Structures are given as structure tokens and as C-alpha cells.
Amino acid sequence: MSQAYRVEVRRQDAQRALAEARGFTLVLGARRADLEAGVNPVETLLAALGSCLLTGIQFVAESSKVPLAGARVVLEARREDKPPRIAQIGFVLYLESSAPDERLQRLFELTLKNSTLYQSLKDAIPMAGKWERT
């Protein structure tokens, strides 16, 4: 089974773009190196990956009956200029749970295996991820 997605992005003004999908709107920075314009494309990619990881961990935790009181992820990327590309992504998934470490490790592994964006990006961009208990 496949799923189709559609997002329309249009320039709002000299600094911003609007991304729209299914009636939801994101305001994005669209001026190179302008930190005042808003969330830039690389940050948007990191946010999407983070959201996908959190969606995945919630799904896997519920399916595996692993108690998960909270989760958050901090992502960082390194960009190169020539050629312009993301050279590396690192992330830490912080988990709040009473489950033993072994179960949380397995939860983390299953999350990566089932994350659409992680699986899509991992062969194109070197990624290093880990989990920590909060």
C-alpha cells in the first residue's frame, strides 16, 4: 500500500514562504542566511524528521505496550557550502519511561526501522542517533 502526499509552497513576501497541506499552514523563512525570516529549510527538514521520530516512538510504544510518559528529540545538522548540502545529522531522543533500558533500546531500534523520514534520509545523509532517559 502506498500513500500520496501533496504540499504547496508559495512565496508570501521577500522573507517568507507559506507551506500548505490539508488546510494546515506553516510559515517558513525563505531568505538565505536571514535568521529573522523564520524557520529555514534545513531547520524545517530537522523538524520534520523529529516529528516523524516522535510519531514513530509513540506508535511503537503503544503497540509494544511500553510505558512512555514523555518524549522529545533534539536534532542538529552540519551544512557544507561547496557543494551546498547537509553533511551530517545527529539527534538525541529523550525518553521518560519506567521501562527497563533493554526495552527502551528495542523501542528506539524499532522507531528508526519504522520512521519514514529516517529510512528515507539515512542513506543520503550520515546520521547518528541515540536515546537517553529523562
Q: Which numeric CATH code is attached to 41-133?
A: 3.30.300.20
Q: Are 82 and 121 in contact (CB under 8 A)?
A: no
The string of pLDDT tens digits covering residues 90-120 is: 999 999 999 999 999 999 999 999 999 999 9
The string of pLDDT tens digits covering residues 55-82 is: 999 999 999 999 999 999 999 999 999 9
The domains of the chain are located at 1-39, 41-133
Which are the contacts of 13, defined by CB distance < 8 A and separation ≥ 6?
Answer: none
Helices (H), 65-126: 101-114, 116-121
Which phi and psi angles does 59 have, rounded to 5°?
A: -60, -50
Distinct helix (H) and strand (E) counts, the chain: 3, 6
In this prediction, residue 32 carries a pLDDT of 86
Which are the contacts of 48, defined by CB distance < 8 A and separation ≥ 6?
Answer: 117
